[in-house]
Structure 1
Amino acid sequence: MKFPLKPFVIFLAAAPFSAIAQEVVLDAIVVTGQKIDVQSFSGTDVDAASLASQRPVSSDTASLLQDVPGISLYGAGGISSLPAIHGMADDRVRIQVDGMGLVSACPNHMNSPLSYIDPTNVDIIKVYTGITPVSAGGDSIGGTIQVNSAAPEFARSGEGTLLKGQLGAFYRSNGDGYGTNLSTTLANEYLNLTYNGSTAQSNNYRAAQDFKAAGPAAADRGWLAGNEVGSSAYKSENHELGLALRHENNLLEFKASMQDVPYELFPNQRMDMTENNNKQFSLRYTGQFQWGDLETRIYEQTTRHKMQFGEDKQLQYGTALGMPMESSGKNRGALIQGNILLSARDTIKLGSEIQNFRLNDWWPASMDTVGGMGPGTFQNINNGQRDRAAFFAEWDASWSPQWFSQLGLRSEMVKMNAGAIQGYNDRPMYADDAAAFNALDHQRTDHNLDLTALARYTASPTQTLELGYAQKTRSPNLYERYTWSAMTMAAVMNNFAGDGNGYVGNINLKPEVAHTVSATWDWHDADKEQWNLKVTPYYTYVTDYVDAQRCPLSFSSNCTVANQTATTGFVNLQYVNQTAQLYGMDVSSQMNLGEYAGYGSFVVNGVLNYTRGSNLTTGDNLYNIMPLNTKLAVVQSVGNWSNTAEWQLVAAKNRVSEVRNENQTGGYALFNLRSSYTWGNARFDIGIDNVFNRFYGLPLGGAYIGQGKTMSANGIPWGVPVPGMGRSISTAFNLKF
């Protein structure tokens, strides 16, 4: 097919385009990009048009955030990256999918919240990377990411029945990945019925060059090439059914969804996800009244999760056939909030939120009575309970055309508990730690307080300044508080850092309290259409930051002297409260270069991010902090074509966490090309990522433990970062009807 590649030639060589332009009568083309919601502080809206060009490249919804200033991604499985905001990731970031606060039910956090919505089902994303309003936060210190599917659409009055939909497919050369998606809507003026479905799967991807010797992946496994990244394959299937009723200014919406992931392999974990079944139900009401508007929501999430060694990791250990690990989680929540218009100047938002989470995590016996993984069941967390109840109030005030302010207060109670546990057997390596844990009072109650104070000053039609302070609080999760075994084999199975180390919980952990100050200077043209430049410096001081220390000798006989001093290799750690600081700057810009006859319009976008994180208690660096990085993109739009040339530059990561023996990574530069062609209701995308096939290690990808004897502490090499993907050609086709 010649026509998809032709725009690339034109774009790079600047050849005349007039011949193609004359062949077709073209509709008007609207160029869109990231939009800043001027009514929200430190918030970035990424709309459907901005997301469209990114969907063909990845089936990982978190990857849709990669161009948002302040965002970086912890590497994980093919659909489960963990977004980090200013160096804080995972549970430190509040993630809401269609308003639901989803929870990971896995000791490795493989089933991350964003993995439960396919990129093709995402309509808009709002990200708070700076000061997060208390109505959008809670139980988090890093920020908030709100991902939403499309709102229900209804037929116009008197126009009968609305029938519409979209059908799509994609293919990616690296990993031989492919998938499909379908959405349909049937609606009249009052009733909407919508279905969304998608599939995605991929084999292992390949790096740009050999980073290990070719050979069998493990003693009882198949062959891996030297550049093949073991345990990076995945397969997923998603279905969602929505029903909505509308009457005047009232909307009632019900959604039911299910996900089946038969496998998702992880190159930076010792185990793989071999089954994950998730069901979600939500009921939402919104209404508009003379006094303001009201929203209520209830939801339930049920997860059944299994782990085992995938096809690239050794399965047989003596008489043990693998190591089955299972977990089940039930997450229920409810929200009610109202926006009350007190006057032309003042708006009050009042709300209450509850969430109840139940977790069981157990490891069935995998060997006979003479072995170490039997004859009983290892209980990692037994009847874990984490219940939240919150109340919040926000006051927005428009003091003048120049001044706008927001004050927020959120009070939250978090109650946690867990039952008695046991090891595989009553040998001292399990029994001593189990007895010590069972002797403790497991119930903990945290009373947390969030505060926000923000102001915006519009100095002129071309200059805006935002200033803010926030106190945010997060209670530890169940795995941080209640995992109990320091025995190496058990500890390394409790790891959502992707660093190959073992982690043990600490029942006495206190909530993290973060104090953040942030400012944003925004320069732009008067119409906010031709150019803009935003600069956002920030500083965060965290008391009782949950970091890690080497497993203390006083904690368990499984904690060794050698583990205390090792400067290489994998180590065992325990969560501990310490003091930390994070600071940095986000810079983003956009400039319209104008229209050129025969070549179309050109727009330049740029993003630069810098984050520094340090542990003030120990003097160590915080783990997985993205080094200085920048991205520059030139977008050409001509006729029905849109073409993008993108450069990504990342500095070397040499500030690493010594307590974790974190790997350093080198700096790198990548060049990507993308093109899309729109004809009526059809859209075709083609792109080449990593055009020059550069080899690089992922700064936040963790340690490569994707093959071999991963159960053994010394069965896999230490010091190998997970490599990035080599050259990949992606194509996608979408048809709206």
Structure 2
Amino acid sequence: MSSSSMNVVPILKLSVLALSLLHISSAYADSTTVKAYTHTTDDEPHIRLPEIVVYAKPSSTDALGKAASINQKLINSKQVASSDTATILTKIPGLNVQSAGGISNLPVMRGLADNRLRVLVDGVDSIASCPNSMNSPLSYIAPSSVDETTVYAGVTPVSVGGNSIGGTIVVETAEPVFSTDSDILTLGEIGTFYRSNGDAYGANLSTTAANDQLSLTYKGSFAQADNYKAGGNFKSYTQTGNPNKTLAKDEVGSTAYESKNQSLDIAYKNGNHLLQGTYLWQNVPKELYPNQRMDMLDNQLDRINLRYQGELNWGQLEAQAYHEDVDHYMNFGEDKQFLYGAAKGMPMSTNSKTIGTNLKAIVDLAEQGTLNIGAEYQDYTLDDTWAASGNGMMSPNKFQNINNGQRQRISIYGEWEKDISPEWTTQLGTRYENVRTSADEVHGYQVGGQNNMTNQLRDSANFNASDRSTTDHNIDVTAIARYNIDAQKTLELGLSHKERTPSLYERYTWSTWPMAAVMNNTVGDGNGYFGDPNLSPEKSNTLSATLDWRADDDSWGIKATPYYSYIDDYVDAVQWNRMTNTAAGTQTTNQYNVLRYTNQDAEIYGIDISANRELAANTWGYWDIVGSLSYTKGENKDSGSDLYNIMPFNGSVALNRENNGWTNQIEVVGVAAKKDVSTPRNEIKTAGYGLLNLSTGYQFKEVAIEAGIDNVFDKNYALPLGGAYMGQGRTMSMNKEIDGSSNWGTSVPGVGRSFYIGVNYKF
């Protein structure tokens, strides 16, 4: 950080303290849709912008199967406290995150994460191109670029589902704006933020020039941070494996990051037709990972996205084509040991290309309801190679982790929705997907000799002799019905069958050698994994019900959703004996192991509850309280083990106040102890904890200020979905001891006390 930047830090900290003492609470959410309140008074300051027209897309407010949505106002307020889009979504009950890098946390929805969820960003179905899922789909969009996010959990309409069993997250940037006449309209906004813990700071800029037919928008943002500190000492050692660097016992190694995003959007409107083209460029020169043995030291995305939307006399038509290139590089960051004898690091490169097209039509059938039909195509190619390093076991050739991996997906779907009576609305949908995966032959660092220690020759020969091309015929069927019991109560019932083809990393990673296997880990538990070309698709059958009960005047409400899923051929993992190349007969505990992906059966069930209550509206402002509770239980029916990374019972309650431009909040978050853990993975148990968060914001004409304190009491706690701490030292060790100090059994801790402040100006 520059000296000029350092001079600003004390001023920012004082500003945070002053604002936090002035007000303590903020009104943001109701129980059905996480949205910003618009309670205003005549003398309240408002943002004054030029007269514009927004090309509106169909509203999803009453969409069947929708769990919740978050709009731009809430996103803008929460991005000051986090640069990670997935973390902001945790304001939705039942949605959590699996820890990863500072901008790449993986959303977890009712016990299912990563490839089991579909994430659509402006219609683009992106795939993580990394053996550790470091470049997750939501990491490619900065919070400042998000306009609205809609979450479908469990029983998901087939029109937004596909190759997923857990649900869908639909993220949309702002629709293009146009002027009301041929005059040129210019507008935009600029924002900046600072967070004390980790010395994080960043900025965002967007600007638009448009007339009544053409709109041009540029967006840019950057964010960076150093390692954050926990609420207290969580480890007993300070070594990093680098002789000139140590980390304090409360510093969480490998949590620093730097990210840069730019996009250019051109839109043309002619009557009821819109043609839009977007170029997105992202570069992440550094994102370190506290629960992985490697770090991401460069990642570049280039994406072109073309979209058409039209209102026709029979309904709506949408068409899309996109192309995406990803160049990804991993090695040991500055907090991890770099030299291993003659080997200088372990360079790993991943490259992928994605081509996709989508065609969708919503046909108005008048009294017969609406018909939503569509077709999708996606071609994804992946190469994952590790260059030779030194003259030992990581030489003399490159290691082909996945060679020319391919996944081609062709989908068609139909979805019919109808109000069959004033009380009943029904939706029936079916989707068929043809998914073909394949990979070419591979070899390890060594292609000759005995390989007795590493088994690279044996494993590559077995893999090359296997059938590495599979075609899956996946079927999704969904039925949803909503019944309006009376003016206050609504009941929604859902039943679905969903199927998902395993990822390329689940099918085509091949080495049992621990040093190679630990590089293939998408869950951050410290273990090593390798795949099985014969894995079958997962098949999930889900039943859910949602009761929404609220007052006639909307002064209070409660929403409860119990759910149950049984998953055939769930892709779990078993401990592996690499010497006999068979499943381990005896489970090895209290250490990291090599595991193989395998099909087993599983069940997941739980309930999400949210509620809100207006308290008062007086001269002191508008007051309300909101809260949520979530419980999830997952079990492997074959092994009897609990499933990995299931969030324990948790909840939150927030007291909100809004008055004349001020929005304030006191929030308490509570999480129970994690006692149900995955036995094959030797998952770490965590203790329960409670956190107090304070936030405040003020809107003054075109300027918005947000500030707050997270973890007010500087609580030292372990993240239940944080995984195993791998943030520093000799991370390639499979044993308990790292740099002479015990690392086994240490979970990644949460962030300690953090002050934050952000300013946003619209012009």
TM class by smaller structure: over 0.9
Task: Give the Cα–Cα distance (whole angstroms) in 1 for the partners of residues 15 and 639 of structure 2.
Answer: 59
Q: What is residue 469 of structure 2 aligned with on the other side?
A: 443
Matched, 1:621 2:621: no
Q: What is residue 343 of structure 1 aligned with on the other side?
A: 366
Matched, 1:70 2:94: yes
Does structure 2 retain, via aligned residues, the 8 Å contact 1:137–1:143?
A: yes
Task: Give the Cα–Cα distance (whole angstroms) in 2 for the partners of residues 6 and 706 of structure 1.
Answer: 35
Task: Give the Cα–Cα distance (whole angstroms) in 2 for the partners of residues 221 and 92 of structure 1.
Answer: 42
Q: Show CA shifts across 1:229-279 (max 9, x none).
A: 000000000000000000000000000011000010000000000100111
Specify every segment of 5 or more residues in structure 1 that has no aligned partner in the other structure, as ranges.
15-23
Q: What is residue 590 of structure 1 aligned with on the other side?
A: 612
Q: What is residue 570 of structure 1 aligned with on the other side?
A: 592
Letter in 2 for 1:571: N
Task: Give the Cα–Cα distance (whole angstroms) in 2 for the partners of residues 12 and 162 of structure 1.
Answer: 38
> Secondary structure of the residue that 1:433 maps to in structure 2?
helix
Structure 1 position 310, deviation (Å): 0.3
1:398 aligns with one of 416, 419, 425: 419
Structure 1 position 653, deviation (Å): 0.2
Structure 1 position 38, deviation (Å): 1.7
Matched, 1:201 2:227: no
2:717 aligns with one of 677, 688, 696: 696
CA RMSD of aligned residues (A): 1.9
2:484 aligns with one of 458, 464, 467: 458
1:232 aligns with one of 236, 255, 262: 255
Tell me the percent identity: 46
Task: Give the Cα–Cα distance (whole angstroms) in 2 for the partners of residues 217 and 242 of structure 1.
Answer: 44
Letter in 2 for 1:112: S
Q: What is residue 561 of structure 2 aligned with on the other side?
A: 536
Does structure 2 retain, via aligned residues, the 8 Å contact 1:94–1:145?
A: yes
Q: What is residue 143 of structure 1 aligned with on the other side?
A: 167
Q: What is residue 20 of structure 1 aligned with on the other side?
A: none
Does structure 2 retain, via aligned residues, the 8 Å contact 1:8–1:643?
A: no
Letter in 2 for 1:350: I
Does structure 2 retain, via aligned residues, the 8 Å contact 1:251–1:286?
A: yes
Q: Show CA shifts across 1:655-693 (max 9, x none).
A: 000110000000000000000011001011111000000
Matched, 1:272 2:295: yes
Matched, 1:674 2:695: yes
Task: Give the Cα–Cα distance (whole angstroms) in 2 for the partners of residues 465 and 13 of structure 1.
Answer: 32
Task: Give the Cα–Cα distance (whole angstroms) in 2 for the partners of residues 728 and 539 of structure 1.
Answer: 38
Q: 1:550 to 1:4 in 2, by over 3 A?
A: closer
Q: TM-score, normalised by structure 1?
A: 0.95
Does structure 2 retain, via aligned residues, the 8 Å contact 1:671–1:689?
A: yes
> Secondary structure of the residue that 1:517 maps to in structure 2?
strand
Does structure 2 retain, via aligned residues, the 8 Å contact 1:467–1:520?
A: yes
2:622 aligns with one of 601, 620, 625: 601
Does structure 2 retain, via aligned residues, the 8 Å contact 1:305–1:327?
A: yes
Structure 1 position 594, deviation (Å): 2.1
Q: Show CA shifts across 1:24-47 (max 9, x none).
A: 9533699xxxx9822332331211
Task: Give the Cα–Cα distance (whole angstroms) in 2 for the partners of residues 550 and 8 of structure 1.
Answer: 50
Task: Give the Cα–Cα distance (whole angstroms) in 1 for the partners of residues 237 and 222 of structure 2.
Answer: 31
Letter in 2 for 1:545: Y
Structure 1 position 627, deviation (Å): 0.2
Q: What is residue 234 of structure 2 aligned with on the other side?
A: 211
Q: What is residue 27 of structure 1 aligned with on the other side?
A: 45
Task: Give the Cα–Cα distance (whole angstroms) in 2 for the partners of residues 345 and 447 of structure 1.
Answer: 31
Structure 1 position 211, deviation (Å): 1.1
Does structure 1 retain, via aligned residues, the 8 Å contact 2:295–2:331?
A: yes
Q: What is residue 310 of structure 1 aligned with on the other side?
A: 333
Matched, 1:706 2:727: yes
> Secondary structure of the residue that 1:565 maps to in structure 2?
coil
Task: Give the Cα–Cα distance (whole angstroms) in 1 for the partners of residues 485 and 110 of structure 2.
Answer: 28
> Secondary structure of the residue that 1:588 maps to in structure 2?
strand
Structure 1 position 346, deviation (Å): 1.2
Letter in 1 for 2:571: V
Task: Give the Cα–Cα distance (whole angstroms) in 2 for the partners of residues 560 and 146 of structure 1.
Answer: 39
Task: Give the Cα–Cα distance (whole angstroms) in 1 for the partners of residues 610 and 485 of structure 2.
Answer: 20
Does structure 1 retain, via aligned residues, the 8 Å contact 2:24–2:665?
A: no
Does structure 2 retain, via aligned residues, the 8 Å contact 1:42–1:130?
A: no
Task: Give the Cα–Cα distance (whole angstroms) in 1 for the partners of residues 495 and 662 of structure 2.
Answer: 44
Matched, 1:162 2:189: no
Task: Give the Cα–Cα distance (whole angstroms) in 2 for the partners of residues 666 and 39 of structure 1.
Answer: 38
Matched, 1:124 2:152: no
> Secondary structure of the residue that 1:215 maps to in structure 2?
coil
Deviates most, 634-643 or 138-147: 634-643
Task: Give the Cα–Cα distance (whole angstroms) in 1 for the partners of residues 66 and 622 of structure 2.
Answer: 29
Letter in 1 for 2:569: D
Does structure 1 retain, via aligned residues, the 8 Å contact 2:666–2:692?
A: yes
Does structure 1 retain, via aligned residues, the 8 Å contact 2:235–2:746?
A: no
Q: What is residue 531 of structure 2 aligned with on the other side?
A: 505
Q: What is residue 18 of structure 1 aligned with on the other side?
A: none
Length, aligned pairs only: 716
Q: Show CA shifts across 1:44-82 (max 9, x none).
A: 121111222211001111011011121011000000000
Q: What is residue 116 of structure 2 aligned with on the other side?
A: 92
Structure 1 position 736, deviation (Å): 0.3
Structure 1 position 506, deviation (Å): 0.8
Q: Show CA shifts across 1:266-325 (max 9, x none).
A: 000000001001110010001001100000001111000000000010000010001000
> Secondary structure of the residue that 1:332 maps to in structure 2?
strand
1:551 aligns with one of 565, 572, 576: 576
2:77 aligns with one of 29, 32, 53: 53
Q: What is residue 81 of structure 1 aligned with on the other side?
A: 105
2:514 aligns with one of 488, 492, 497: 488
Q: 1:500 to 1:384 in 2, by over 3 A?
A: same
Task: Give the Cα–Cα distance (whole angstroms) in 1 for the partners of residues 91 and 79 of structure 2.
Answer: 13
Letter in 1 for 2:719: L
Q: What is residue 761 of structure 2 aligned with on the other side?
A: 735
Does structure 1 retain, via aligned residues, the 8 Å contact 2:307–2:321?
A: yes
Q: What is residue 377 of structure 1 aligned with on the other side?
A: 398
Task: Give the Cα–Cα distance (whole angstroms) in 2 for the partners of residues 50 and 591 of structure 1.
Answer: 19
Query: What does 1:615-694 align with in structure 2 at a 5 Å threshold?
Result: 615-694=636-715
Letter in 2 for 1:718: W
Structure 1 position 399, deviation (Å): 1.1
Structure 1 position 111, deviation (Å): 0.4
Task: Give the Cα–Cα distance (whole angstroms) in 2 for the partners of residues 500 and 4 of structure 1.
Answer: 38
> Secondary structure of the residue that 2:748 maps to in structure 1?
coil
Q: What is residue 316 of structure 2 aligned with on the other side?
A: 293
Deviates most, 46-55 or 580-589: 46-55
Q: TM-score, normalised by structure 2?
A: 0.92
Does structure 1 retain, via aligned residues, the 8 Å contact 2:291–2:748?
A: yes
> Secondary structure of the residue that 1:154 maps to in structure 2?
strand
Task: Give the Cα–Cα distance (whole angstroms) in 2 for the partners of residues 459 and 567 of structure 1.
Answer: 53
Q: Show CA shifts across 1:418-460 (max 9, x none).
A: 0000000034221110111111121000000000001000011
Structure 1 position 629, deviation (Å): 0.3
Matched, 1:102 2:126: yes
Letter in 1 for 2:521: N
Structure 1 position 374, deviation (Å): 0.3
Q: What is residue 138 of structure 2 aligned with on the other side?
A: 114
Q: What is residue 158 of structure 2 aligned with on the other side?
A: 134
> Secondary structure of the residue that 1:217 maps to in structure 2?
coil
